[in-house]
Amino acid sequence: MKAIKKQNNPIYQHYVPQVYLKNFCSQDGLLSVLDKDTGKIFSTGTSVVGGEKNFYTLDKMKDPYCWEKAYAEGIEPMMGEIFPKIISQDNVLIQNGKCIINAKEKVKLAIIIIMQLFRGKQSRQYEEKLFRELLPATVERAKAVFSPLTDQQEALIKEIESKDYYFKRISMDVTLDIERIKQYTDILCRRKFIICHICGDLEFVTSDNPTMFINSRTANATPFSNGLFHESTLVYYPVSPKLILCAIHPNALFQVLSDKDGCLFQLNSDMEKGFISTINRKQKEQCYRQVYARTTDTLKKL
């Protein structure tokens, strides 16, 4: 019974799913990790990175692990289905410019990318900052509407202000809001999805914030500074050490890519060394704390 309980109640909870991180593991199943705060590089398994204890746990809920299970049962199986298909195209014999994802797969990828954006550590911190800033005015409005408050209501307000549960409960509702997910997914799907494949020795890195928004004019990759609506915003999502998805606004390149949605393009690692290095460096700049790669050598070049 104890083993079953432990399995059903995950304590260490990943905001970057293991099913994704395993795409970047070496043949021995290890992931190379760079801690950008300390500069330390080490190798480890995927079970102990990209998450923290009780990140999604809501102890007052009937099922305290319902938030974590929503990802485990709804999003991660989708990732386990589509990633192998895309990674199987990691082959120099695939014709340059060939379409490798269909319309349904594009929608699934968009959902995965948007959910990764919503569920991460930086999104949680951003939401909490807004929560703390807006809470005092919200409390004052509630007092004005419902005044005089009962002792029980006063106690509840103090509890909301002091206990992390209430913020996390609101965060779950916002993160898992179906209409919000659909809205952002629809916006992302209007972009052209280009999958770039490195031919050569260089590799892409990923991080604890894989969904990366870059301003194509300023090269600014600071989280939450580049809007999805903006033509200048490029969305990057590493799929494997050799593959990265780039979502480009349809007007950004004067329709050059109008018929290339879902297509694979080969990158010569010698000719495109500057681009690959820039993308990897930006991934490090904008991540929360950790960068992941298949080899330590790739991390040493950052």
Write out pLDDT tens, residues 161-202: 889 999 999 999 999 999 999 999 999 999 999 999 999 999
Q: Which helix (H) or strand (E) holds 239?
A: strand 233-240
Write out pLDDT tens, residues 202-230: 999 999 999 999 999 999 999 999 999 99
Average pLDDT across the chain, whole number: 92
User: Is the pLDDT assigned to residue 141 strictly greater than 90?
Assistant: no
Query: Strand, coil or helix: what is 62?
Result: coil
CA distance 263 to 265: 7
From 283, 258, 251, 278, select the one nearest 267 (Cα to Cα).
278
CA distance 99 to 261: 7
Q: What's residue 170's pLDDT?
A: 93
Q: What's the half-sphere exposure (Cβ side, CA atoms, 13 Å) at 36?
A: 19
Q: What's residue 158's pLDDT?
A: 87
Write out pLDDT tens, residues 115-127: 999 999 999 999 9
Q: What's residue 5's pLDDT?
A: 42
Single-letter residue type at 97: G
From 246, 237, 247, 248, select the one nearest 205 (Cα to Cα).
237
Q: What's residue 241's pLDDT?
A: 98
Structure tokens at 119: 């569920």
Write out pLDDT tens, residues 89-136: 877 667 888 999 999 999 999 999 999 999 999 999 999 999 999 988
Q: Would the CA dihedral through 266, 231, 205, 11 be positive or negative? A: negative
Write out pLDDT tens, residues 3-44: 334 455 678 999 999 999 999 999 999 999 999 999 999 999
Q: What's residue 89's pLDDT?
A: 80
User: Is the pLDDT assigned to residue 138 strictly greater than 90?
Assistant: no
